[in-house]
A and B are shown apart, each in its own frame.
Chain A
Amino acid sequence: MKILTVCGMGLGTGLVLRMSTEAALQRIGVDDAVVEVADIGTAKGMGAGYDIVLTSSELAEQLGPVKGRLITVQNFIDKNEIETKLREALDRPASPA
């Protein structure tokens, strides 16, 4: 599975989102995912090759439609938010604790 995290420059926040996403994937128990970072400019072209694209809602408007599942994240460091949204996208509900 290929996942893309997108921010304006593809330097800081996109990388933070990648690290949060990797942490969330680990909690969900997905270990075959590759998470990459892109800036908004290249993401427009790259987006087609990815199963899931994560970004902010403002950049999602700029990004336009993508082939894979688009997830908009409000708080880039909130692992719970990202985990919930990823579980929904992956159709893997949390097992009752």
Chain B
Amino acid sequence: MDTISGIVRFTVEEILSQPALLLGIIVLVGLVALRKAPGDIIGGTLKGILGFVILGVGAGAVVGALEPLGTMVLEVFGAQGVVPTNEAITAIAAGEFGVTVAWVMLVGFVVNLLLARFTPLKYIFLTGHHMLFMATMLAVVLSAADIVSVPNVILGGILLGTVMVVMPALGQPFMRRITGDQPVAIGHFGTMGYILAGLAGRAFGRGSKSTEELNFPKTFNFLRDPMVATAVAMLVIYGIFTVWYAQVASAESVAAITGGNDLVVFGLIQALTFAAGVAVILLGVRTILGEIVPAFAGIGSRIVPSALPALDCPITFPFAPNAVLIGFVASFVGGLLSLGVLAATGGLGLALALILPGMVPHFFTGGTAGVFGNSTGGRVGAVVGGFVNGVFITFGAAFLLPVMGELGFANTTFGDADFQWYGILVGNVANLGAPVLYAGLGIIIVGLMALGIWIQTRFVPQPQYEVDTPGTAATKPAPVL
């Protein structure tokens, strides 16, 4: 008996407490369930584990590159400087919260399946990196409210699974216009920004022509490469602050930051190190997801065959490529203006952090907001929609930081709308303390489901998807998307 309890204890305390190994086991189970070949199972499991280890390597680089920037912004403005980048904050949090995050993700996926199976919200959320980011945000915010271990996993998992079916449902009335009723939903946690963009387009863009009738200059096309876009943004941000800092700081404090190198050159290298670190983290996330998402898709299509896949935001880009660039620029402008407001008012008089524009969030969520805005309000809609998104994700980031505990003092945070409003809501309710917080979180979950079901039944005709006929289902073992 001692041997058995010893093995169990070793498994729980040593193996399952290593997030990389836990993730490997989850991948292993998924691949076995899909009856993959032994070679694929071994390779896939190893890649899942390696991906997580790669995350940690990238996290070290981005933390190191952000620290000097934080010091300089603090000196120049007397406020915390934050560059929202989902990948960076997730990789940083993985060190301390990795195990909880992996469990929350797993429970969240099961809750997604159950809700899709038994409620009208038949969506399977397949954007793996956003599941990972949302699981991280929830684990961090609940931990900051002293909800840890099993309660964190259960509450976080239910909150995650809920938002994974509700956001696609809320976005679906617009997605139907954009895609021409294709069997696909939006599965991206910038969706609140897209809904606001769609509504703003309807309010302001009546009669405006579509962005796709424009001959839009391709000048900004190079920014479609996120590595380039991140590097460009960080070079500008670092460039501004190194020059500024050199004016206000003493030679000793400059030397303390740079170790004796030229400040501007030092800043340039840090900016590029940040972009490189994000690229490393992306490689890690890609390595993990390459195995997990197909497993999720396979399991999902077996359990809820009639569900719509909810997919990453660039799925909308080919439907309105001009709107993507217009929305991105408008979102960026919105972010800059909001930064100006934060700087000029001392963080709205609340000592909120300065939110510097993160290029990746503005490109992907601003671009998608442009597509949603264009679908209801043409060119005007794309501009207004992108702008609204940019303002939302800037103030959202500022208000999210206080509920993130120690990680609120990192120089980066979550950059997309849903992480922010959901985090602010869940975090503030969780801080009310038991038993009020359980009632509060229950109301959030039930309220969101009710809203999603109402939108779904009111605006989305059923069924709008192809239902596999029994005869063909048997011949299609692979995930069908």
Listed in ascending order, the chain A residues whose CB lies under 8 Å from chain B are 7-13, 15-16, 19-20, 22-23, 26, 37, 39-41, 56-59, 61-62, 73-79
**Pairwise interchain contact A39-B282, C-beta atoms closer than 8 A:** yes
**Which residues of chain A come closer than 8 Å to B324, judged between CB atoms?**
58
**Which residues of chain A come closer than 8 Å to B130, judged between CB atoms?**
12
Q: Which bucket holds chain B's interface residue count? A: 35 or more
**Which residues of chain A come closer than 8 Å to B481, judged between CB atoms?**
16, 19-20, 23, 77, 79
**Which residues of chain B come closer than 8 Å to A20, judged between CB atoms?**
481
Given contacts A8-B226, A16-B126, contact A61 B314 (CB under 8 A): no
**Which residues of chain B come closer than 8 Å to A56, judged between CB atoms?**
314, 317-318
**Which residues of chain B come closer than 8 Å to A8, judged between CB atoms?**
224-226, 314, 363-364
> B208-232 interface mask toward A, CB cutoff 8 Å, 1 = contact, 0 = none?
0000000000100110111110000
**Which residues of chain A come closer than 8 Å to B318, judged between CB atoms?**
56-58, 73-76
- Tell me, rounded to whole Å, the shortest Cβ–Cβ distance linking A8 to chain B: 6
**Pairwise interchain contact A62-B221, C-beta atoms closer than 8 A:** yes
In the complex the two chains form, what is the Cα distance from A90 to B476 in whole Å? 22
| In the complex, residue of chain B having the shortest beta-carbon distance to the beta carbon of A16 | B311
| Contact sample, A vs B, 9 pairs, CB 8 Å cutoff | A7-B312, A8-B225, A9-B364, A11-B289, A16-B309, A19-B478, A19-B479, A58-B318, A77-B309
In the complex the two chains form, what is the Cα distance from A75 to B184 in whole Å? 10
Known: A19-B297, A62-B225. 18 other contacts (CB 8 A): A8-B314, A8-B364, A9-B286, A9-B364, A12-B315, A13-B311, A16-B315, A22-B478, A23-B478, A23-B479, A26-B478, A39-B226, A56-B317, A57-B318, A58-B321, A58-B324, A61-B218, A77-B481
**Pairwise interchain contact A77-B312, C-beta atoms closer than 8 A:** no
**Pairwise interchain contact A75-B221, C-beta atoms closer than 8 A:** no
- Tell me, rounded to whole Å, the shortest Cβ–Cβ distance linking B168 to chain A: 13
In the complex the two chains form, what is the Cα distance from A9 to B127 in whole Å? 12
A9, A10, A40, A61 interface centre (most CB from chain B within 10 Å) = A9
Restricting to B276-297, which residues have a CB under 8 Å from any CB of A?
279, 282, 285-286, 289-290, 293-294, 297
**Pairwise interchain contact B294-A19, C-beta atoms closer than 8 A:** yes
Given contacts A11-B289, A41-B228, contact A77 B297 (CB under 8 A): no
Q: Does B95 contact A (CB under 8 A)?
A: no
Q: Does B183 contact A (CB under 8 A)?
A: yes
> B251-287 interface mask toward A, CB cutoff 8 Å, 1 = contact, 0 = none?
0000000000000000000000000000100100110
| In the complex, residue of chain A having the shortest beta-carbon distance to the beta carbon of B279 | A41
**Pairwise interchain contact A13-B282, C-beta atoms closer than 8 A:** no
**Pairwise interchain contact B218-A37, C-beta atoms closer than 8 A:** no
**Pairwise interchain contact B129-A11, C-beta atoms closer than 8 A:** yes
Listed in ascending order, the chain B residues whose CB lies under 8 Å from chain A are 126-130, 179, 182-184, 188, 218, 221-222, 224-228, 279, 282, 285-286, 289-290, 293-294, 297, 309, 311-315, 317-318, 321, 324, 360, 363-364, 476, 478-481
**Pairwise interchain contact A59-B311, C-beta atoms closer than 8 A:** no
**Pairwise interchain contact B364-A10, C-beta atoms closer than 8 A:** no
8 smallest beta-carbon distances between A and B, as pairs: A12-B312, A41-B227, A13-B314, A11-B129, A40-B225, A12-B127, A13-B312, A58-B321
**Pairwise interchain contact B282-A10, C-beta atoms closer than 8 A:** yes
- Tell me, rounded to whole Å, the shortest Cβ–Cβ distance linking B79 to chain A: 30
**Which residues of chain B come closer than 8 Å to A57, judged between CB atoms?**
318, 321
In the complex the two chains form, what is the Cα distance from A19 to B313 in whole Å? 17
| In the complex, residue of chain A having the shortest beta-carbon distance to the beta carbon of B127 | A12
- Tell me, rounded to whole Å, the shortest Cβ–Cβ distance linking B86 to chain A: 11
In the complex the two chains form, what is the Cα distance from A58 to B309 in whole Å? 23
- Tell me, rounded to whole Å, the shortest Cβ–Cβ distance linking A47 to chain B: 14
**Which residues of chain B come closer than 8 Å to A59, judged between CB atoms?**
224
Given contacts A15-B289, A19-B481, A75-B318, contact A58 B127 (CB under 8 A): no
**Pairwise interchain contact B225-A41, C-beta atoms closer than 8 A:** yes
| In the complex, residue of chain A having the shortest beta-carbon distance to the beta carbon of B129 | A11
- Tell me, rounded to whole Å, the shortest Cβ–Cβ distance linking B55 to chain A: 13
- Tell me, rounded to whole Å, the shortest Cβ–Cβ distance linking B9 to chain A: 37
In the complex the two chains form, what is the Cα distance from A11 to B129 in whole Å? 7
**Pairwise interchain contact A23-B480, C-beta atoms closer than 8 A:** yes
- Tell me, rounded to whole Å, the shortest Cβ–Cβ distance linking B322 to chain A: 10
**Pairwise interchain contact B286-A37, C-beta atoms closer than 8 A:** yes
**Pairwise interchain contact A58-B282, C-beta atoms closer than 8 A:** no
In the complex the two chains form, what is the Cα distance from A37 to B312 in whole Å? 15
| In the complex, residue of chain A having the shortest beta-carbon distance to the beta carbon of B132 | A11
**Pairwise interchain contact A12-B480, C-beta atoms closer than 8 A:** no
